[in-house]
Structure 1
C-alpha cells in the first residue's frame, strides 16, 4: 500500500466481477475507493452468465489472445479464491465426423496457447460422463471449472473493504459532472432511501459492462461496446460432473455447465442496443434444447428449472458478426481517446479474466496519476466471501 495513492479517491461504477476486481486492486494499492452499483452486487452480467471458469479451450483455435488470457487467469483464480470455485475440469466432446475433424486443430490450439489437455477415447469419455451420447466418438479433457458468481464478487469486495473501500449497492449513477474537460464528480440516486447526492472523485472507472455506453454518454464520449445477449436454459438436475463442450468451432448451444444441482445449456448470441430490455427469441430457446441434447440426450427428457438471458459487453460495433468479435478486453483512457480527463472505461473480457482486467485498468490509473505501484493481486489470497458482510 502506498502513502502517495492514499490521497486519491477513485469511484468505480459497477460491482460485477470486473468492478469488484478493480476495487480490490485499487484498495490493495492504497487508493481510497467507492464502489457504486445500481442493484445488488453481481446482479448484472456476472450473476446471470453460465458460470464457466474458462480454460481457454473455446478460443484456442480462432482467438488465441483470449485463450492465453483465460488459461493464465484460470490458474491464478483457483489459487487466490478457491471458495468460489468448483475445479472439476471439462470435456470437449465429438459426436460426429465433423467434430473429429476439428480435433487436431483444437489440440494444436491448446499447445500453442499453453492449455493442458488429455485425449480420451469414446469409452473413457462415457465412463467419466455416463450421460454423454452413445454417438460420442472421442473427447479432450481441459482444466475448465465452474465459479459461483456471487461468491466471487463478494470475495473481491470483502478484500477491498478490508483495505478501506466503501461498497454502495442500490446506488445508481444518474450523471457525471464534467468541468474543463475533466470528470470531477458522480451524481447518484440511492434507490433505497430516495436520496440524491454528488460524490466527488479524482478519477472515475467505468466498469458497467454492457451498460458502459450509458455511462460514457454522461460524459459526452463513446466506447465501442456491443451488448450481445445469449440465451441459457437451466435444466433440473445435475447430469454431468465436468463441463461438457462441443468439440467444434464456437456455435449456439455448444456447452453444458454443471452448476450445483442444475445443468445449464448455453448459449446463443445476438446484438441489442439496450441491455436492460432483452426479449428472448423462442427459436433460440428451442435451439438450446436441440443442440445440448446432441451431446447429452437425457436433456430432452428433463424439465427446465429456468430460462434466462444476459448481455455480454464485447468490444466491437453493432452489425459485426458477434461470434467473430474477440473475447479479449481493453481499457480506454478517455483523456487520450476523447480529450476528457479523470475518466477510464474497462470493457470486454470475461468473468474469468476479471482480475487481469483490473490489473490493466489500475495500471492505467497509476500512470495517469504519475504513480509507480506494482500490482499484487496475483499473489494475494482473497478473503472468504463470508467476510463481505462482517467487515
Structure 2
C-alpha cells in the first residue's frame, strides 16, 4: 500500500486563550492563511474578558456575557482546540509540553497566557488568599463565597483585598456594590484594602487617585496604606494578614491583586525574559532569543516600548500579532508594532458609574461614562 504523503503545511501552536489570541482567531476566521495547521491550547474553554470582569462581580453581567467561548470560536475558524495547561517547551525540537496531552510539535509558537499575581514571596499567600488570576479559580471562589454569605445572613463578614492598583480598587468597589445589596445590615460587612505604597493607583493622575480614594472611604472601605503584607496565617475561624509595620487584619477571605508575575517554565525553557519572567519581544512581537516564538498580552514585554499589564494593550496587539504570524509563515518581512504612549481607562465604580483616566487628565464618576464603557465592552464581545 502506498504511504500517505507527509503534510507540507506549517504548524502554528497558540498557547493560551488571552485577548490577543482571541483576536488572532477572529482574524483567521475572516482571512485564513493558506498552508497552515493551527492548534490552540488553553487551560479553559471560556476565556474571560478583563474589561467586564469587575462588572460581572458587581452583578451587571452574566458569565456568558463576559466570556469568550474558545471552543466555539476555534470550530468556526477551523482549528484544533485542546483544553490543557502548557507547562514546558523544548525549543531545540520545537515541542510544547502540557499536563494531559502528548508533546505537540510546532513550526511557530505564539504565547498569550496572561499573568498571575506574585504570591510566592509572601508566606501563606498562595495557600490562603484568593488570587485574582487565573480568573476561573477566582470566579469559582467568588461563587462559593456568595453561597456562604446567603446561608449566613446574620454573620458579620470581614473581607480584604491586597493590592491598590486599578485591579484591586475595581475589585474592592465591585465587591462592596454586590455584597452591599446581599447583606442588608451595613454593619455586617467590613472591607479592607491594603496597599504597600502611600497612595493607590500610582500609574494614574493625582486627580484620579484622590477621586477614587474618596469613593472608597465614602463607601466604608477601610484603606490601609504603606502596608506591605509579610504573611497570611490561618486559624480555625479566621485568616490573619500580617504587615511589616506590625498591623494585623483578621478576615474571612483575602483577595490577592498584586503586581503581575509569569510562570517559571518560560525562562526555564531558555526564552529571554525580563526580571519578572515575562517573554522579551521585539517590536514585531517576536522573541528576542527564539525567532520561531511570538508573544503578546501580559506575558510579553516589548523591549523598547514597555507597557502596563492592561487588557487594552492585549486587545490592540491582536491584529499586529495576526499580521506578523501571517508574514513569518509566508516568509514575508515582519511589520513593527508601536503601542500608544497614553491610553484611556474607564474605571467602573460598581454602581453604574465610571471614571475616565488618561495621562494627567481625569473625569467622573459619571453614568454616561459607564454607558460608554458598557457599549465598548459589549461591542467587543459581539465580535466573538
Fold conserved between structures, TM > 0.5: no
Question: Taking CA–CA contacts closer than 8 Å with sequence separation of 6 or more, which of the two structures ends up with the larger relative contact order?
Answer: 1
TM-score after normalising by structure 2: 0.30
TM score, norm. by length of structure 1 = 0.30
